[in-house]
Amino acid sequence: MIEFLAGNIFVMANQRFCRRVEFSAHGLRTTSVLDRESGLEYVTDDRVPEFSFALNGELISSYSYSALSDLDGNVQENTCAFTLAGAKKSSGPAGSEILQLDFVLRTQPLHFSVFYQLYPDLKGCVKWLSFSSQGPELRLTALALEQFKLAPGRAIDLEHRLGPGFHPVGPVFTATGSDDIVLAYDESKQAGFWVGTSIPGPMRYFMCYPHWPTGLLCGYSRSTAEFCKYLRAGEKFVSAAVFLATFQGDCCAATQRNEFRRLLRRHLPACADPGGIMYCTWLPFCKNISEKLVSDLAEKAADLQFQTLVLDDGWFTDQEWAVDAEKFPDGLEPLAEKVRSLGLRFGLWFNIGTDYGNPGSRPEDNCRLPTGEVKPFARNLSCRCLASKHRDWLVEKLCEMAGRYGLSYYKLDFSNIISPYGIMPPGCSATEHAYHKNAADAVQEQYQSMYYVRQAIKQRFPDLLLDFSFESYGTEFPNISALQYSELHHASNMSTNAPDMDARKIRQQLYRYCLVLPAERILGSLICLSGENDVEHLYTAFVGVPLVAGNLLAISEQDAAQIRRISQAYHGQLAAGPLTEFFLLNGEPRPARYEWDGFLKTNTAGEGILCVFRNDCPDTQCEFTVPADLPARIVLHDMASGEEAGSAQPGQKIRIPFRDCTSRGFVVRKA
């Protein structure tokens, strides 16, 4: 798939996609991005730099030529600042091949490499860079991983959309920290491309000015939460990745989204849980829990055929995270044993972001504001800096508890880097922490330390599922990077515990979350099962990985019997593996009050689940087209009753009566 041609030309090609890069006296550039299925060439200007960065303030561009600047009207004279030191290819996961191009900077003691990864079956590639200091400390900033001018036809015909909901944007835009995927589409050509990045948190950055030399730029932030990496002598830094994929067809079709989703999934950690139902104790009890209450909830969760119980906040005191002896007089060990004896896995909530659990302890590990004051959290708590010795303490504490309680899942919570609620400035201004130098590199090193915590725990407990929640990760929406840090990612605090939000509103958000990101990794909400609308709530939770809360003890036996049958049917569909393919059944991901909505999730064999929701739709039935992507005719069986509800070929319409239900769920099997 990777070929070396004369003249330092490197070709990465499979049967569906081809990218060609070339190194010359002017530097490195991409000269072709070809969709081999459609025959469309995407590069509209091959003089665009492949990447750029600043080293100790010196700007390095991968491709240099004399050009008139639109910014100041001056002619910029540029020459290539590095030499090609070598090129090699290697084998990667899933049959992929990796091209590595090594370079030496002429002006400063830096070696760096550019990597391109191509899979044999996917229409796209992945790119990242690495940097290594060969002398004194170097400061790396302004890192752009990918710059290009791409279009399947004319650049002027491109329309851009930003995730997660893929709302349209104008011809020029910037996105700092808010979005990690760009969709570009030419309606006249019925073709386009995806660009996504795994840059963490607020450091991701897109800028699109199609008439400027950079075209579409994807890289690290240069403003809020600016990227900075200090490279000590001999230290190596590996960047996040950029994912590029071309497509042909309707940009809103599930076909295109599932294809790009497959590329992203190849770069997520393995997850042993295919998406079983999880129960969390947080709502409506909050901290008002006890050993008896949680034991009763565990018995009910097991009776309902759930698979995991998560003990949320409220189990420890402010005396060095000691188990609350009033609530759990015998500690957590008997409860953990009880949960496992019921056939459930035991999960635990823990605060990693603040000194909650021992206020005032280890002040040397606290985040600092530019004023020198401690970075505050709610209720007079202090934010911990992950790039301090706090990360080492966390590894030992989390591993000790995982072993003691036989944990299967950790929900790691509370913000300290940045807050998804916008209530704290990013980073840390301390200058004496072990793993960052000052405010400039704090955000980068805090995320690096979070990943270090993950990897250190996984070395000792490889089967333990880790979940850095949206609060601890600091981002409002799930994203590629958050999913790389966690096997499962708790993505929001949406719930039906109050009348201000209902299941339809939650689905509006969950559909946006799961349009392109792998739904089988996203814990979408804390929707409650408490004796009212429970079936609809459970079906809503199935959009992602079902994480439910609520007072299970308030569920009637009649409803419990129905939930039990639904749980069994749902878990039966996971026996062959996770449901990775995601389809919306009624248009855009924002169901209106007077319209029905629904979704279909299948495995790669075309079997899975299908759920529809009536809302306030006046119709007595819904009609939709079975996705043409499915490999065979399907037959539907009602999850609650087991009765057959119809069958259809891919591409055919099917009708489902709502009967007297607000929602219906079905097992989908090949006919």
pLDDT of residue 69: 66
Cβ–Cβ under 8 Å, residues 364 and 388: yes
- The structure's pTM equals 0.96
What single DSSP character describes residue 493? -
Structure tokens at 58: 């010196």
Q: How far is Cα 273 from Cα 395, in angstroms, rounded to an integer?
A: 23
Q: What is the 3-state secondary structure (H, E, C) of 148-186?
A: ECECCCCHHHEEEEECCCCEEECCCEEEECCCCEEEEEE
What residue has token string 């049958």?
565
pLDDT of residue 571: 98
Cβ–Cβ under 8 Å, residues 417 and 474: yes
pLDDT of residue 73: 73
Cβ–Cβ under 8 Å, residues 427 and 439: yes
pLDDT of residue 68: 66
**Taking CA 146 as the corner, what is the angle to CA 142 and CA 149, rounded to the nearest 5 degrees?**
120
Mean of pLDDT over the chain:
96
Q: How far is Cα 240 from Cα 41, in angstroms, rounded to an integer?
A: 27
Nearest in space to 84 (alpha carbons), one of 6, 8, 5: 8
pLDDT of residue 214: 87
DSSP 550-586: S-GGGS-HHHHHHHHHHHHHHHHHTTT----EEEESS
pLDDT of residue 282: 98
Range list of β-strands (E), 163-265? 167-169, 173-176, 181-186, 191-197, 204-209, 215-220, 228-231, 236-238, 242-248
Ranges in the chain, pLDDT < 50 = none
Structure tokens at 455: 């990897």
Residue ranges and CATH numbers for the domains of the chain are 2-265 (2.70.98.60), 278-490 (3.20.20.70), 581-670 (2.60.40.1180)
